[in-house]
Amino acid sequence: MVKANPALADLPLRPELVGEEPYGAPQLDVPVCLNVNENPYPPSGAMLADMAQAISSGVYHRYPDREFLRLRTQLADYLGHGLGPANIWAANGSNEVMTHVLGAFGGPGRRMLTFTPTYSMYPEYARNTHTEYVTAPRRVDYTLDASDILLAIARVEPTVVVITTPNNPTGTTTPVTVIAEVLANTDAIVVVDEAYQEFARDPEATALSLLADHGNLVVSRTMSKAFAFAGGRLGYLAAAPAIVDACRIVRLPYHLSAQTQAVASVALRHADEMLARVDDLRATRDELLRRGPQLGFEVVDSDANFVLIGRWADRHAAWQQLLDQGVLVRETGPEGFLRVSAGTPDEMAAFYAALARVDAPRM
């Protein structure tokens, strides 16, 4: 018999989960949050009213449209490139979309390959889908070329390769020509995670342009970043219809609630308004890239809405000193760096003022 209120050790937990902690950046109630690469500008009152109207006219005693065709059509229209609803899949954040991709194409005895440093959730997607997680290093400047990727594919023999561009946490872009060369030389599922693509200096340089020629390509996107919809939880992918069908096999039925579908649909109808601050956020990032070195810091060139800045001998001390001044950034990435998301002008002013008072030793 198991006693009431058992410890985890009293339960038949999967062995690979023993000692694991739930993932997540600290969610702290502080004045300035520059830690999870959100768009800091909330939707307008008019937009919120539209969303409320869509929710209040929804149907809740029936299950929602399992195939969410209206939303998939809107997402296809947003992406362009000749895509239609059969090319689109979506879920509660691109985290869940990736779990579908790995549920379908990973699994026991199979490997997923990524290029580090990269997004810290990938190992968890792999673990949760019983897929082996294997990494290969990026170059010293965090770039990747086709030979790096193809050599790693030859060594690891993955069924799923994930290339993140712009990469989190470095902000580094991998050119479309590199992705094209990889696709010409592998049959693995190649997921290009473009969560931050709208912030790139050239947002039109996207792997979407390769979909017409490559049935093993998956382009992953999210409404959480540029689209200012992190709380709405809507991530999506574009791929060949057969890949979408594979995701439909492994998803939980009705995984996208009626509310999510309704609100995301309103946001997409007003895409221009949702994306209106992207230019400002790009400029804020570029200012950080300029100002960091002027203030004596090292920065990593970034095409996303965040910048790695450092280097501190004890970055945790620097992180804590910023937090003590009400500014939350992210302690992640290569040794000595902190990752700072682009905020509003007031938030950035608070960040620069706090940064000037940090006296943690540098490397």
Indicate whether 94 belongs to the interface with ligand PMP (CB under 6 A). Answer: yes
Indicate whether 222 belongs to the interface with ligand PMP (CB under 6 A). Answer: yes
Indicate whether 33 belongs to the interface with ligand PMP (CB under 6 A). Answer: no
Instruction: Select from 68, 81, 35, 93 the least CA-distant residue to 220.
Output: 93
d(CA 345, CA 19): 41
Indicate whether 95 belongs to the interface with ligand PMP (CB under 6 A). Answer: yes
CA distances from 6 to 3, 20, 22, 138 (A): 6, 17, 18, 43
Q: Least separation, in Å, of the C-beta of 182 and ligand PMP? A: 18
CB-nearer residue toward ligand PMP: 114 or 186 = 114
- How many secondary structure helices (H) and strands (E) does the chain include? 12, 12
Indicate whether 193 belongs to the interface with ligand PMP (CB under 6 A). Answer: yes
| Contacts with ligand PMP, 34-73, as mask; x by CB under 6 A | ---x------------------------------------
Which residue of 43, 64, 85, 93 would you call a contact of ligand PMP, by CB under 6 A?
Answer: 93
Indicate whether 174 belongs to the interface with ligand PMP (CB under 6 A). Answer: no
Which residue of 74, 114, 224, 260 would you call a contact of ligand PMP, by CB under 6 A?
Answer: 224
Q: Which helix (H) or strand (E) holds 33?
A: strand 32-33
Per CB under 6 A, the segment of 91-99, 146-154, 277-285, 327-335 that binds ligand PMP is 91-99
| Contacts with ligand PMP, 97-126, as mask; x by CB under 6 A | ----------------------x-------
d(CA 100, CA 251): 6
CB-nearer residue toward ligand PMP: 99 or 186 = 99
Q: 191: which strand partners?
A: 162, 218
Under 8 Å CB-to-CB from 274, ≥6 apart: which residues? Answer: 43, 47, 223, 227, 228, 229, 267, 268
d(CA 336, CA 283): 25
Q: Assess contact for 288 and 319: CB atoms under 8 A.
A: no
Instruction: Select from 122, 101, 298 the least CA-distant residue to 189.
Output: 101
Q: Least separation, in Å, of the C-beta of 202 and ligand PMP? A: 18
Residues that bind ligand PMP (CB under 6 A): 37, 93-95, 119, 164, 168, 193, 195, 222, 224, 230, 235
